[in-house]
Structure 1
């Protein structure tokens, strides 16, 4: 692990702006460290969690994430159980359902004007899962309608549901602030957020919004308030109006989740290129794994076919339905909505970019739990206490009603320090990965990668100088030859009581679109051994056989075509371990590995019949699982930036600095036309080093394929744009100016170019050399 985590530069400049008052973190790594967290947690303020018997509040969830015990509901909704996380999280966000914030608080507050209202009594009454249909209809059915409405009692005289909703939001803010470590120890970071829960006829079109800092809107924007504006466009507009464009220093990312239960509607066709770009900007991440299943890809082992894939590893943690609600029934694999799965959405995004000029589905990956017990990051398969109140509070209910659920996943962010600004910047640039609950460490970078070698102590530094990490983009860095990729993974170390599992292999998943607009995918094994013989002892669930502590590969794509848009992400697989349900079944005397499983289940009770589901009789379930991690993709853009040569020369006196910048891009993008679109060039670290807009028509033709700036424009003395047969070059030179915002040390710098809908960017580690700051042509 020391190989890939060690920093070899002494820079202290972050590539993001500090927006909050706090002590600087004592631990700061310019080459970034992995931080593990959970961005999807529910407490009693979520109506469904309250129905399940959950009574813990946001402070309890944050305390649990830091190793405090938490109280859970038992089968009777009494608060008699408890659990504790196996190791603390680095960050967390409580994201209660924003719909009915006010109503839940009023119903939970003795003495409120509606405390004895029948709807409130229904919410508080103790029910078995089978009896919860009635409160679910009263409380959650409105979320399937458009327009949606608040509870009827909110219109009664003197009842202030809106004010109560603000009170809940303020309590959530106070809880996040109280748990946030603002000291230089930086042990724990909280984020403010909530869930938007549009569920038309049971289709999950849900999203979490995560805010950068404590400058947040005064009220939440739930589906009820935004439903008439479209799903999710009404919500997007609300976040733009109340946060992003409100002038209060607010910033946010929106994270869709449970596309696997969306009936194919989560990732809808964009109306046009502008809507595609809007989605790409507002929704940089997607939650690929959580308690209600995995959304990477889907393969039915009994049918021998997949939903747009032949990848047999896509049986992992699949729900058997395509959506919940009235249409929530199993469907044959050939009728399953392909775009329920994120990999298919990523592929379609490439095709949309070719047609519309922007990719609506340029998602980075995170995992989280969606735990409705307030148990942030409760993901251990061994001894899992469940995550849905009294719905999975005992072995019979876990197996009989919820065998297809799983403990959920974790979000991992590569950041310089454990602070809100640093982690949020990682979310925005998509330098994140998801895990199914374990904690492997994964690096994935691509580009020229000159001098990058597995085993080299300078691997990470060299890769950041000559390549981009997960979440980024690359152009044709080697011309017609494939870019170079490096992936490195280290096993989860685990705990003293539960050591981590060895790694089996690392794969690179590629998706691309051909010249005819058809999308494709291919999975490459690049490190490790799928036939290493490792398995589990069926009697004890103890692991048998060995895998790897670390795996590394430097790889080039043998199918690369410089003309085809593509994405690549890494998938890291651990050796097999017993699934949580196998351990629960064994605890009651039912052995999923045994040929006598059915007889044992009959003796244990009808609830345990599903213990015997497996490869021979179920499309997805098995007694063992392979825990895994998925990195955010790296996108190959045929019209993206291939190389940047740049040099900042610091002058001896203020205002005498100069920047010389030359970009080499791939093929010409349709919107990269200086006669009809503004050219917007931005060079930035934590500040804008140079930000210039060249208005459409300002550059003049100096030949058939060459445009020049006829006169200085602001700090820019000269600019030249040359369209070649297979590449585009843009050169910019400043006059003497103030570039003191470019810090004089090694640090990450981003060069971004925009024109119309066209966007491309290039982030590398620039190096300080005396009185210059240099990007060396990678």
Structure 2
């Protein structure tokens, strides 16, 4: 009898499972919104999941990676990002603690795939005299000489190959790889590339990221530095792409700290001042800024934020890529916090904000490995991978030119990368891209902490603790990346914030809000406010919160200080209804060991310089919320 009962229960269940897809599953059109249902989630449409990824990863198809030892291509990059074990170029094995949710293989457009073509003795490359020459140099055992040969042409803006058909064939290989590894709902492989504009060795690089599938992006010839060094020409190229294909594209810049004041300059590349047309196009095509990555952090600078004790975080401020030293007047046109405030000033003057960008982080790794944890850092390039010996610390990332060692930045000064976090409902190309477009994204320095912020006019302190926190936020306010327009008379903006630690990482120290505005004197201003913090600390007479302390000992630390989660409610005490403003959230973890400390624990003392960072505080920066009168 017992057996008969089990059989009777199982057989209908099996039939139900087989017919589920055709008979039981329903689409959104089958739900009548507004009708009373027992399940409260049927009409939920707001983003309810956070996805972590890297939008700036290079493989051997980037000449400055493949020509200096990286032998891993796009397939290995996607496999690694999806959580597989991969053997790095120098032979060690690597794996992520958890897979990423999305990845953009963003190889440099300039002579795309040169190293793989040399390795395979590509006939089309060998048919070009310069291609034959560099091929033979590598095959003769002089890859460094070949790299210098290529760099000379690249630096001069001369395309030594100049063959669109050849470039197109290599681009299509990357497209095919992304298509193979893209799995909607599980892992998103977005198509993209890097435009590497470096006029006078100043960094104006942009990542271009597409929303589209292979049917629209295949057979493209990515826009390169050889085509133009002017971002406005890149925007025109993207506009043409969208018009011709019906697709969607966006760009985001990175490393303003190496632009020597050009990234957020007061004038265009043609020398003309910023006007309405330029401001509208920049805001349209560049909705985001990559604020943190291996080559230093770009949130702010100690000279720009002297009252911010956390401003000096992996500061790279010696110059550009090697031709010009930094001067203090360049800094306001390089860092995100100052640029956001200057954007408000432009909006007040011309009616449009050219620097109205959200913030993301990414790696810019040239190893094909998107490693962002301090205890799993495989370096900026193959020469800096684990096992490379002291070259891992001594390699020049910024090369000295005629200025000598004063401008050099070495690999031991790199940050163990960053991540982009996107709020969306599903892990697909369309959903991730759309989250980026509406700026509902945030940057981290590699940690996978969860951060959410809403601004509104009638939030109450207890709303932070509601189980339907997000529903409340969307119903009565706006999320990160959005605009908050004028509210009721005498009301002030109210913010509610939640932050949750990385489940494999450190506890949280504090939540802060960074506000920027234009003062009565017409000049941009910024200020940092502590909103919520761990422990029973009390701000001092100057309003400064004492440090959280530290449990770091060598490469070890404990989560016996800090908090696993923090919630904050804040009202702007300086609010002026007639004053434009932006607000973004910065969340800090407790101190943790840097990758250098982990290296010394593994390899033993390395004789690192006195300025080597052994203890640091990981952080996240949300996209701003803008208030407009």
Partner of 1:60: 76
In the alignment, structure 1 residue 372 sits paired with structure 2 residue 366? yes
Q: Where is the strand percentage greater, Structure 1 or Structure 2?
A: 1
1:449 deviation in Å? 4.1
SS of alignment partner, residue 510 of structure 2: strand
Q: Which of 503, 511, 515 in structure 2 is aligned with 1:506? A: 511
Deviation track 1:322-379 (CA, whole Å, cap 9, x = no partner) reads 311222x5x46x3553221111111111111111110000110111111111113x11
- 3-state secondary structure, aligned to 2:489: coil
Matched residue, 1:283: 286
How far residue 111 of structure 1 moved from its aligned partner, in angstroms, is 5.1
Instruction: Report the CA distance shift for 1:540/1:366 in structure 2 as closer, same or farther (over 3 A).
Output: closer
CA distance in 2, matches of 1:560, 1:124: 66
1:245 aligns with 2:236: no
Residue 553 of structure 1 aligns with which residue?
568
Instruction: State how far apart, in whole Å, the 1-side matches of 2:149 and 2:369 are.
Output: 26
Distance 1:97 1:203 in 2: 16
Distance 1:507 1:361 in 2: 22
In structure 1, the partner of 2:165 is 163
SS of the residue 1:315 aligns to: coil
Could you tell me which residue of structure 2 aligns to residue 757 of structure 1? none
Structure 1: how far apart are the matches of 2:489 and 2:28?
A: 34
Q: 1:361 to 1:343 in 2, by over 3 A?
A: same
Distance (Å, rounded) in 1 between the aligned partners of 2:380 and 2:280: 36
How many angstroms apart in 2 are the aligned matches of 1:194 and 1:347? 29
Aligned counterpart, 2:439: 430
Q: SS where residue 509 of structure 1 aligns?
A: strand
Note the C-alpha offset of 1:542.
2.1
Matches within 5 A, 1:360-439: 360-376=354-370, 378-393=371-386, 394-401=388-395, 402-439=411-448
Aligned to 2:546: 531
- 1:48/1:624 CA distance change after superposition, 3 Å: same
Q: TM-score, structure 2 length as denominator? A: 0.83
Question: Per the alignment, do residues 541 and 566 of structure 1 end up closer, same or farther by CA in structure 2, a change over 3 Å counting?
Answer: same
The answer on whether the counterparts of 1:31 and 1:461 sit within 8 Å (CA) in structure 2 is no
Match of 2:342 in 1: 348
Shift of 1:396: 1.2
Structure 1 CA distance, aligned partners of 2:564 and 2:137?
A: 52
1:461-518 C-alpha deviation (Å, 9 max, x unpaired):
1110111100001112243432111111011111xxxxx2100000000010124320
Residue in 2 that maps onto 1:634: 625
Question: Is 1:491 the equivalent of 2:491?
Answer: no
Distance 1:257 1:436, change over 3 A: same
Aligned residue for 2:413, secondary structure, equals coil
For structure 2, list consecutive stretches of 5 or more residues without a partner in the other structure: 1-25, 30-41, 268-273, 396-410, 535-544
Corresponding residue for residue 447 of structure 1: 456
Q: What residue number does 1:293 align with?
A: 296
CA distance in 2, matches of 1:84, 1:379: 11
Answer whether contact 1:526 1:553 (CA < 8 A) is retained. yes
Please provide the CA RMSD for this pair. 2.5
Alpha-carbon distance between aligned partners in 2 of 1:412 and 1:103, rounded to the nearest angstrom: 32
- The verdict on how the C-alpha distance between 1:217 and 1:245 changes in structure 2, with shifts beyond 3 A counting, is farther
Q: Residue deviations 1:59-79, cap 9 Å, x none?
A: 1111101111223233xxxxx
Task: Give the equivalent residue in structure 1 for 2:616.
Answer: 625
Residue 571 of structure 1: SS of its match in structure 2? strand
Rounded to whole Å, the distance in 1 between the matches of 2:432 and 2:329 is: 39
In 2, are the aligned partners of 1:143 and 1:200 still within 8 Å (CA)? no
For the residue of structure 2 that corresponds to 1:536, the secondary structure is coil
Indicate the residue corresponding to 1:180 in structure 2: 182
Q: Identify if the C-alpha distance between structure 1 residues 531 and 308 changes in structure 2 by more than 3 Å, giving closer, same or farther.
A: closer
Change in Cα spacing, 1:461 to 1:104, as seen in structure 2 (3 Å) is same
- Say which of 109, 113, 116 aligns to 2:120: 109
The aligned length equals 553
Rg (Cα) greater in structure:
1
Distance 1:92 1:470 in 2: 22
TM-score w.r.t. the length of structure 1 is: 0.68
Change (3 A) 1:443 1:11: farther
How much does 1:419 deviate?
Answer: 1.0
